[in-house]
Structure formats: C-alpha cells, structure tokens
Amino acid sequence: MSTTICQVMGFLVSLLGVGGSIMATAMDTWSTQDLYDNPVTAVFQYQGLWRSCVRQSSGFTECRPYFTILGLPAMFQAVRALMIVGIVLGILGLLVCIFALKCIRIGSMEDTAKANMTLTSGIMFIIAGLCAITGVSVFANMLVTNFWMSTTSMFQGMQNVQNRYTFGSALFVGWVAGGLALVGGIMMCLACKGLIPEESRYKAVSYNASGRNISYRTGPYKVGSGYEADPKARKGYDEAPRSEDGRRSYPSKYDYV
C-alpha cells in the first residue's frame, strides 16, 4: 500500500510541476518594470519569453510578440529551449507514468515492467524539473546583471532615463514548478524500488538421480552407473560352492526359515 501511495503522490506532484512549467512558460511577466524610483507612472512595461507588453494607466494593455529569433540574445533563446525541453519531457513522463501506476491493470503486464516504466518516468520528471529550474535561474541571472548595469549607468549620469526590470511572477512560478517536478521524480524513483518483486530471478532447481551418485568419466575410466553390485555380495557370489557339474549352488530362500 505504501508503494502505491508513493507512486500516486509522485504522479500528482509531478503533474502539478509540469502544469506549472507550462503556465510559467506561457506567462508574460518574466520581467517587470522596476518602479522603485518612479512609483507613479502612466506606462507599465513587462516582458515574457514570447512577447513584451505595455499597460497604460487607463487600463489598456498592448502586447507585441517577438518577430525575430536570431535578433534575440543567445541566453534568452537558451532559456526558451530549456523550458520547452522540460515541458516535453514532463508530458512524456506523465504518459509513461499513467501506464505504470500499480492501481491500473493493463492486460497481463508484470510488476517488473511497471517498475521499469516507473523508474523511466521518474528520471524524466527529474530532468524536466532541472530544466525548468535552470532556465528560470539563467533568466534571473540576466535580469540581475542588467539591473545593476542600468543602476550604475544611472548613477554615473550616462543616461537620464533608464528602464530597469526586476523579477516577475513567472519566475517564482517556474521555480516552484521545477521543484515540484523534481520532488515528484524522486518519489517515483523511490516507488520503483517497492514495485520490483523480491524474487525477480528463477531459482535453480537441482534434480537428483533416483539411485546412487552417477559419475561420468572419460578415457580409460569405467562409467559407474550407481547400480553396480555390492563388492561384498560379489565376493559372496564368487565364493559360492560349486556342484558336481560345475554350477554354483546358492542357498534357497527356504533355508533361512
């Protein structure tokens, strides 16, 4: 029962993690305009992985997608790739995990096959969580670098007006989603250990001959069948008295009565 609970909980936690990664990737608030120096503004800007948006004080919001790929920074494209890879691996892991659940029976699938599928889905969830955490962390590092560069430029008087961007809500969603996927993958790997049967290999069965030990020898050695006469009986046979016609005489069974 504990194995089933661990497997189901790992599936649910991983499902939340993959769903959170999809939501974070689709959100437009990866970076938001810093309003520390100018809390009252008529225009508020925020950006995502796929488009940048501007919200006016009147409530009107206009978003514009990025129409270029090569014009974007290399790190920005790397973040996109990491999030997409994490989502694809997470979805594949969910599909594999559904068929690997112990509470679901599909045909005559053995527990060993379910254990292998559970381990595979767990590894997929772990990689998906690491991809999400890495992508969000790389984007956060870009924001921190640009923020301090903009701050330095403003204090040096190089530019009078400089828009600075800080962490958006999508970053926190991505961090939490990656952590959930990572934890779910670890739980699936732990559940795999409980699904493996205790005796996964067939035990060797030794068959003993009905008679004595049978020895097989090569060369000049004789083959002992185990059914040879007892040497003592053989000796008695050789020492049996002979009759007048040369035949051996043996005691009758009535002589022992």
pLDDT tens-digit profile of 131-175? 999 999 999 999 888 877 666 655 555 555 567 788 989 999 999
Instruction: Report yes or no: 131 and 83 within 8 Å, Cβ to Cβ.
Output: yes
From the DSSP assignment, how many helices (H) and strands (E) are in the chain? 5, 5
pLDDT for the residue 161: 52
Q: Is 207 left (phi over 0), alpha (psi -120 to 50) or beta?
A: beta
**What pLDDT was estimated at residue 220?**
52
For residue 42, the 8-state DSSP code is S
User: CATH for 1-30+70-194, among 3.30.9.10, 3.40.50.11740, 1.20.140.150, 2.30.40.10?
Assistant: 1.20.140.150
How far is the C-alpha of 101 from the C-alpha of 125, rounded, in Å?
15
Residue 184 identity (one-letter amino acid): G
Bridge partner list, 47? 31, 52
Residue 251 is predicted with a pLDDT of 57
Q: Show the low-confidence residues of the chain (pLDDT under 50).
A: 200-211, 213-216, 221, 223, 227, 237, 256-257
pLDDT of residue 240: 53
